[in-house]
Amino acid sequence: MSITKNAHVAAFAFPFGSHPTTLLHLVKQLAAASPQVQFSYFNTKSSNQKVSSKVDSTHAHESNIKIYDVDDGVPQGHVFSGNPIELIEFFVKATPGNFRKRLEEVETEMGMKATCLLTDAFLWFSVEMAEEKGIPWLAYWAAGPSSISLHLYIDVLRAKLGSDSGRIQNLDQTLDFIPGMSEIRASDLPTEILQLNGLFSRMLYNMSNTINRASVVLLNSFDGIDFIVENDLKSKLKMLLNIGPFPLPNAMTVTEDHSGCLSWLSHQAAASVAYISFGTIFTPPPPELVALAEAMEEKQVPYLWSFRDNSKRQLLQGFFERTSRIGKVVEWAPQSQVLSHPSVGVFVTHCGWNSTLDSIMGGVPMICMPFFADQMINRRLMENVWQIGVGVKGVFAKSGLVEVLDLVLWKDEGKKMRENIGRMKERAYTAVAENGSSTENFKSLTSIITSSKFN
């Protein structure tokens, strides 16, 4: 195979949630595997500052990676309202000009044109930039195969379900008209799929209509997680590569456990602890937090709670004090390692895709509290398809939480969930082992970014 001289991969991040962190993990892995290639990672300044503190140090000193800031679009002196969508829409307004301008500056500084664009799939305009330059666009999808499949069927969904307002007539209707979606219901769909009432929704709609032009679509997933959906995707995309799950739990060294989570877990009984974390964007509303705390206290379940929202911490201060003998609250936890610890018996989660993968890799069943985006879809997969988790029935109240804690931790249904997720864990580790499907797909990816036939 012919190797391109002066290969330069430009990576564009979507700077919200877990998106920029997982993309940088991928860039670092590629940089370590392809030392002859130069990598430029573009993200907003505030997001770069957050990401640098989260990404593992395994490949932190790769000399062939440089990180650059792009304009976030926020006006000088703007007072933030607290609504995350506000920042997203400022950023969307700034695209694609912010990326185009910064890339041109970097190309001049380096004396090297980009030979490949590796970008978050949300940044749909990357395909136009890549086509202008005559280089491949590699689109990284930060969620699972089911959610990207639904985006490919966006016009079908609108025609079947709805109205211009995005209102769904029958929320219980299943999506059995889409391959592999017979258990997904209309009520599980993100509002962005059915509505075009904002810049972010339009960005996703544009992505839905351009993703099939990507040279390669990359998923942080593994072959076999859903054969029907994967095969349908492969029939619609030029190339689909599952390259996950990543990063693996052992990618983060124990010395980064600044809060002492792992040492605390080592003093707990096997499969007894509830690990609680709701991601980086939203925290449940106060009534739900109180209901969860009351259920934990009634059942006297040992807990490790990663609680980031200081504005709501006082709400549960009495609970934390009363249960300090059996619980630990921290602002941050090394999640993948926590979920791989034998003391953890259940994960109370918002059902984000990265958290779902972390739980699979740890073999820990889940109690599902989804908020938005693909989280409702993931909840349905966990509960109805994979049978590795359970949602709270009806109103989110103490009684429902007590019921699901009983079910997962102590009843036969929970034992069955642990068996099911144990089998998924085995498949996931097989995929990333030597000669595994994700390992081989990653090798194909490194060949693509260095091969002259793509450049």
pLDDT confidence bin for 77, thresholds 50/70/90: confident
Give the number of domains in the chain: 2
| Domain identity same for 93 and 227 | yes
* Same domain, residue pair 303 and 329: yes
Asked whether residue 237 falls in the same domain as residue 326, the answer is: no
96: left (phi over 0), alpha (psi -120 to 50) or beta: alpha
As a whole number of angstroms, the distance between CA 5 and CA 261 comes to 46
Does residue 388 sit in the same domain as residue 441? no
Active-site annotation holds for 120:
yes
Q: What is the pLDDT of residues 93-116, one digit of tens each?
A: 999 999 999 999 999 999 999 999
Residue 2 domain flag: no
Would residue 302 count as lying in a domain? Answer: yes
CATH code at position 330:
3.40.50.2000
Query: Which residues, including other chains, have CB under 8 Å from residue 261's CB and lie 6 or more apart?
Result: 304, 328, 330, 333, 334, 337, 338
* Separation in Å, CA 240 to CA 40, 155, 215: 23, 22, 9
Are 417 and 445 in the same domain? no
How far is Cα of residue 289 from the mean position of the Cα atoms in its chain? 23
Active-site residue, 19 included: yes
- The DSSP output letter for 224 is T
Pairing of strands 389-391, 116-120: unpaired
Same domain, 240 and 105: yes
Selected residue with higher pLDDT from 247 and 405: 405
Q: Euclidean distance between the first and final Cα of the chain, in Å?
A: 13
Give the pLDDT band of residue 58 (cuts 50, 70, 90): very low
Confidence of residue 60 (pLDDT cuts 50, 70, 90): very low
* Any domain includes 390: yes
Per-residue pLDDT at 74: 92
pLDDT value at 253 more than 60: no
Residue reference for tokens 């999506």: 175
**Residue 1: inside a domain:** no
Asked whether residue 366 falls in the same domain as residue 218, the answer is: no
Indicate which residue of 8, 25, 59, 120 is catalytic: 120
Query: Which residues are registered as beta bridge partners of 216?
Result: 138
* Domain span at 41: 8-249+433-454
Same-domain check for residues 294 and 196: no
Same domain, 242 and 269: no
